[in-house]
Amino acid sequence: ETGVTQSPTHLIKTRGQQVTLRCSSQSGHNTVSWYQQALGQGPQFIFQYYREEENGRGNFPPRFSGLQFPNYSSELNVNALELDDSALYLCASRLAGEGETQYFGPGTRLLVL
Amino acid sequence: RKEVEQDPGPFNVPEGATVAFNCTYSNSASQSFFWYRQDCRKEPKLLMSVYSSGNEDGRFTAQLNRASQYISLLIRDSKLSDSATYLCVVNEVGWGALIFGKGTTLSVSS
């Protein structure tokens, strides 16, 4: 296994609510990325954190935000949930400067009703 | 134009068949290339990196043509366990964001 864990595994929310998803990276990995995978699509890059700072962002609105903590854990927060936010959310961690292999967690499946 | 485009699927093949997946990417500045495998309702897992010189891992062979911005994956002697979605992935400027294709689904039957 990759050593990357995510919680919760599944979540149901309603439109307008807020959600926080959590990721625990491999020990020592200082970079974490979050991806959104809608049904039938490939994962789409949301943003990346390096040493607790966001250092790259995909085409996602500001209501998608994140945090990275010194203990290699991170959060993805989504405010004002919309129906189209229903997807599998994946985090991936790596050690910057040690190749480009990213290790994915099992994902959180979010359903917005 | 999508950044990474793959063959539309699904591919349905018998055991033992050889199957090829193709992929094109739009950004000539892309630096790293990969094939990931994703099983149903699971996370993507790295299958192999792709190099200009071509690389082989058992029954799997990957090729990269930078001039044509084209990536391929060849699977020989398909097994039932090869049934999955195969994702073509590029990494631009090496800073971390992976750009995924939509994926091609392979179904191997006995």
Nearest CA in chain A to B38: A42
d(CA B88, CA B73) in angstroms, rounded, equals 9
Q: How far is B98 from chain A (nearest CA, A)?
A: 7
Q: Tally Cβ neighbours within 10 Å of residue A53.
A: 8
Give the bridge partners for A34, in sequence order. Answer: A47, A91
Q: Which residue has the higher pLDDT, B84 or A99?
A: B84
Average pLDDT over residues B71-79: 97
Q: What 3-state class would DSSP assign to B82?
A: helix
What pLDDT band is residue B54 in, cutting at 50, 70 and 90? confident
Looking from the CA of B6 toward its CB, the CA atoms found within 13 Å total: 27
* pLDDT one-digit tens code per residue, A32-79: 999 999 999 999 999 999 889 998 999 999 999 999 998 889 999 999
d(CA A35, CA A87) in angstroms, rounded, equals 10
Tokens of B100: 């995924």
Residue A101 has what pLDDT? Answer: 79
Nearest CA in chain B to A87: B41
Nearest-by-Cβ selection for B102 from A41, A50, A92: A41
The torsion angles phi and psi of B81, rounded to 5 degrees, stand at -70, -10
Contacts of B94 in chain A (CB under 8 A): 100
Three state DSSP letters for B41-72: CCCEEEEEEECCCCEEECCEEEEEECCCCEEE
Amino acid at A81: L
What pLDDT band is residue B21 in, cutting at 50, 70 and 90? very high
Question: Inter-chain contact B97–A58, Cβ cutoff 8 Å?
Answer: yes
Beta B11-14 vs A10-13: how paired, if at all? unpaired
d(CA A80, CA A64) in angstroms, rounded, equals 9
Question: Inter-chain contact A45–B91, Cβ cutoff 8 Å?
Answer: no
Question: Is there a cis peptide before residue A43, judged by omega within 30 degrees of 0?
Answer: no
B19 touches chain A (CB under 8 A): no
Is pLDDT of B2 > 70?
A: no
Is pLDDT of B110 > 70?
A: yes
B75 touches chain A (CB under 8 A): no
Is pLDDT of A98 > 70?
A: no
For chain B, the average pLDDT equals: 91
Contacts of A104 in chain B (CB under 8 A): 43-45
d(CA B75, CA B70) in angstroms, rounded, equals 17
Residue A21 has what pLDDT? Answer: 98
B91 touches chain A (CB under 8 A): yes
Is pLDDT of A100 > 80?
A: no
